[in-house]
Structures are given as C-alpha cells and as structure tokens.
Amino acid sequence: MKNQAMVMTDVRKFELQDIPMPEVKPNEIGVKVRSISICGSDMGFFDGKAFSIFPDSLPFVLGHEVAGEVYEVGSDVKNFKVGDRVALEPGVPDCTCDNCMSGRYNLCKNVKFLATPPYEGAMKRYISYPAFKAYKIADNMSFTAGALCEPLSVGLHAVRRGRVSVGKTVTILGGGAIGMCTLLAAKAYGASQIIVCDLFDSHLDKALELGATDVINSGNVDPIEKVKELTDGQGTDIVFETAGAPITASQTAYIVKDGGTIVMVGNILKEVPFSFRQLYRKEAEVRAVFRYANTYPIAIQAISTGRIDIEKVVSAVFPFEKSQEAFIEAIDNKLNCVKAVITIDD
C-alpha cells in the first residue's frame, strides 16, 4: 500500500506528497480514508485567514470530517475488524479531566483535534486513529454520509442545547452548511415552524428543499420584522445563530420569543453589539455551542433510518487528486456551494 497526503504548502496551494504508511498502535485502527467533507475551518486555513491564530503552521494537512474503511486493527482493539466501514469523530479527549468525566468531553482542554495545529488532518489515503473515537456506519450509508456525521453532530448538539421538541418554533440565522445541518436536526426533533434567514436565494431554496417552513432573504427585508410577521408578533421559541457574524448575533435578542432560548453556534471573533435589555425583558436564555459531545451514534442512527437525509446538503464532489479545485469551489462559489466533498477511490 502506498500512502499519500494532500499537503497545504502555501495559501490556496496543495501538493500531493508521498508519505510513510502510519504505525497502527495497539489501541488504534488503520483507516483507508474514503470521504472527506470540507469544513469552514478548513477553508479558513486554505484561504490564509487562520494564520492569525496559528502562525507558522505550514506545511499542514487539513480535513477533519472523515469516513473510511478499516484495513488494520491494533492488538488491543476488540470491537473492529478489517473491512468495517467507520466514521471518525475528530476530537480525541484526554478522558481524565473534570469535563471528560462529567460527559462534556467537547470542553476538554487537552483534546487532540484533527486539522488543528499541531495535529494534522485526514487528507491522506491512510491514517491511524484511536479506536474509541471511531464508529461503525450502517451498510446503507455511504462514506460521504459517514463524513457528514461531523457537521450534523454540530446541528444535533445545537438543537439539544436549544431544547427543541415537538411543536417548538425555530429561527436559523445563516443558511450555510451548519445552518442546514441545524435545520435537519430541528426538523428531526419535531419543530413545527422552521424559519431560515440568509442573503442568498440559492441557500434559501435549499432550505425549503430540506424542510424549512419559511425563508427570509435578509438582504431584501428586515429579518426581525419579517419573523414577527410570520409568528403573529411573538418571535420564535429558539433562535440559532449559525452565520458567525456580529450582525446576526445582534438580531437574536429581537427575534427570540418571550421566555425563549438563543443558541450561539457560529464562530464569531469580532465584538458584537447586543441588546441585553431585550434579553432580560423577555427573560430569555443565551446558550453556547462548542463542537459537540455524544452525538455520533445519534447521527448514524438518524441517517441510516432515513430520518435525516444528510447527503442533500452536498453541492459538489471532487476526487482526491482535485482537492485544490474542491477548496476553491467551496470558497469562491458560496452562492451555489453549500458543502463540497472529496472522495478517495482505490
């Protein structure tokens, strides 16, 4: 077997390089990577924006939304065999800290997360990985569906943080990949009204296809007033900020219903103007999301039973050798590309 990695050597530049086959430790499995979906954080690296946080990180290997096939099993691993199809949860916690012991391992300060320096990502033909963070995927699931368990996990964790349940009303600010995964999760959890706000009609059309009841083009109308119009002036029970933008974050307090919940999902680095007066007048809550925890089995079950059709978020598929073109499509064609996926064949 010959291993190769798609190595980022400069801004917007990949090189396909030969690398050694990984050593599979006793508690690990060796995985032949089959599908990698491109995340916004990957795009931030590829476009050079992440260097302010991770300077001097090149050369580097991206990719953390991944699924593949087991080709080797470590001597201490009992629950996998060669040929098993797996999705890999990209964060490996230390399993010893207070956060891990309480079940909130996503908050582990010592987590090793794929494609977050100094830990390389999975854009390789073969990788080794701790077996306890690998999950068998159902036979009726594609490898791409397995890779998409990662962004779906963000949506699932968000709706659990927001306590979405049957009959609840929801607004999602942002129609990108995470917004769409939040939409799919909210629908699966029984939300009765799901309003999606975005600047692109193509994203709003996709939201309607995935089950949104209403959509709002925020560039054409005031989303605050439009949500009020759609909800008889009440707002919605839960508001998800998934765009990662100060302006949408500032809108949440005006859109949420009295006694409702705001869930901050997007990654916002800038300062946000926020009306705490709106918040306390409504006695609303603000809850945050950092990645996810204990979601992969739920994601796999939801996809394999047909409750969530996650592959509908995919806009474009590229072979491994054209990874550079895949990233450029994801970054430069945001109007039409919600999610780009890279596949690796034999």
DSSP letter at 132 equals G
Cβ of 66: how many Cβ atoms within 10 Å? Answer: 30
Q: Which ranges in the chain are annotated with CATH 3.90.180.10?
A: 3-148+314-343
Angstrom distance (rounded) from CA 326 to CA 318: 6
Q: Where are the beta strands (DSSP E) in the chain?
A: 3-10, 13-19, 28-37, 60-61, 65-73, 85-88, 91-92, 112-113, 126-130, 134-136, 169-173, 193-198, 214-217, 236-241, 256-264, 285-288, 316-319, 340-343
Angstrom distance (rounded) from CA 105 to CA 293: 6
CB-based contacts of 48: which residues, under 8 Å, 6+ apart? Answer: 11, 12
DSSP letter at 119 equals B
Q: Can you give 135-178 as a three-state secondary structure string?
A: EECCCCCCHHHHHCHHHHHHHHHHHHHCCCCCCCEEEEECCCHH
Angstrom distance (rounded) from CA 80 to CA 72: 9
Angstrom distance (rounded) from CA 191 to CA 159: 10
Q: Tell me, rounded to whole angstroms, the distance of Cα 263 from its chain centroid.
A: 15
Angstrom distance (rounded) from CA 321 to CA 155: 30
Phi (first) and psi of residue 30, to 5 degrees = -95, 130
Residue 173, burial from CB neighbour count under 10 angstroms (0-12, 13-18, 19+): buried
Q: What angle do CA 7, 12, 16 make, to 5 degrees?
A: 25
Phi (first) and psi of residue 303, to 5 degrees = -75, -45
**For residue 106, what pLDDT is reported?**
98
Q: Which ranges in the chain are annotated with CATH 3.40.50.720?
A: 154-288
154-288: CATH topology is Rossmann fold (3.40.50)
SS3 193: strand
- Dmax (CA) for the chain in angstroms is 63
The residue type found at 321 is E
Q: What angle do CA 62, 64, 65 make, to 5 degrees?
A: 130
**For residue 295, what pLDDT is reported?**
98
Please, what are the averages of pLDDT over each run of 10 residues along the chain (346 residues)? 96 98 98 97 94 93 98 98 98 98 97 97 98 97 98 98 98 98 98 98 97 97 98 98 97 98 94 94 97 98 98 97 98 95 94
Angstrom distance (rounded) from CA 161 to CA 288: 8
Q: Can you give 40-53 as a three-state secondary structure string?
A: HHHHHHHCCHHHHC
Cβ of 103: how many Cβ atoms within 10 Å? Answer: 9
3-148+314-343: CATH topology is Quinone Oxidoreductase; Chain A, domain 1 (3.90.180)
Q: Are strands 340-343 and 316-319 parallel, antiparallel or unpaired?
A: parallel
**Helices and strands of the chain, counted as H and E runs:** 11, 18
pTM summary value: 0.96
| Paired strand residues for 341 | 37, 317
